[in-house]
Amino acid sequence: MTVTDSHVVLLATGGTISSRSSHAGGAVASDTGEQVFKALGSPVSHPVRVLDVFQKGSYLLTFEDMLRICATIKEVLEDPNVLGVVVTHGTDTMEETAYLADLTHSDERPVVFTGSQRAADSAAPDGPDNLARAIAVAGSKEGRRKGVMVQFAGTIFPAAGVRKSQTVRLSAFSNPDFGVLGQVSDQGKVALEGSVSRLEALPLPWPVNGSPRVDVVAAYPGADSTLMHAALEAGAAGIILQGTGSGNANPGLCSEVAAAVASGVVVVTSTRVDAGPVVPIYGAGGGGEDLRIAGAIGSGHLRPSQSLILLSLLLRINPDRERITEIFTQRGRPPEPSD
């Protein structure tokens, strides 16, 4: 392959797909991108150029690491010969990085995240099959104008709303609110649904300029305001409140939310429930309607993991509360199919 050939770029970041057993115990991300690619052992749908970003388990990533991945995606897409991009990534936080990439992706060419549930040196690794399918999607005409996707075990998901929903099974991801985009066969045949409406990309704050703290605080039976207060004392500029049900808490948390908002902290209410929107319904001192009155912003259909990413990004580019509320309203709705 020469630099003038059309090709897919593989950005390797580590994860289980690059992991092998270590002498110290447990699997460790150790294979380079070239080693991950060579493990395919058979021809792929499109020529591939491999670049290493880093080699980390995704449970170790910071928001700045995720920004670096997104910046690298933008950099490689400056080459008009690139058909699309595949990012190999650990599954633990793939939903966060893929969503950040989608929020900041303005190119029509596809970006596809994939990885594996089994290590590279396991008896039957699933990484090579996932990678081959992701390359097929990234290089396909069908994948254009779909934004950033997650391809896992043959199913293609939009990045918004996707989540790891199984700890060890090979079909590890789901997207109950934003749906499925399509399928890719083990022979590389890509079947995607019609185009979907895309919101305007948000700016990518790179190089990093400031790191506002955003914490997730959970509501649960018997929870008080101790953990939220600790986050605020640590300097949190934003809080994701993982509510119960349709986005509820209790009087103590609600009072802390009101005080935080009054001090300029942005609080977003999400939910621990697997599917459905955050809706302010209940009162009685700590329900969703009380949280709304206290100044919390509803996350819509975004779960805590992706609400954290969106708020972290917005606090870096436009910390105006009204604008943040507007964007959460836009991004928290599943997109309408376009003609």
The residues carrying an active-site annotation are 16
What is the rounded distance in angstroms from the CA atom of residue 136 to the CA atom of residue 186?
10
Q: How far is CA 209 from CA 44, 67, 72, in A?
A: 39, 11, 17
Contact yes or no for 245/251 (Cβ under 8 A): no
Residue closest to 103 by CA, chosen among 62, 124, 73: 73
- H-helix or E-strand containing 135? helix 127-138
Q: How far is CA 256 from CA 10, 244, 248, 295, in A?
A: 45, 17, 14, 11
Contact yes or no for 94/150 (Cβ under 8 A): yes
Percent helix, strand and coil across the chain, each to the nearest 5 = 30, 25, 45
What is the rounded distance in angstroms from the CA atom of residue 299 to the CA atom of residue 267?
10
Strand, coil or helix: 201: coil
What is the rounded distance in angstroms from the CA atom of residue 237 to the CA atom of residue 260?
9
Contact yes or no for 306/328 (Cβ under 8 A): no
Strand, coil or helix: 253: helix
**In sequence order, what are the beta bridge partners of 160?**
none
Contact yes or no for 164/157 (Cβ under 8 A): no
* Sign of the Cα pseudo-torsion (297, 303, 309, 312, in order): positive
Contact yes or no for 101/89 (Cβ under 8 A): no
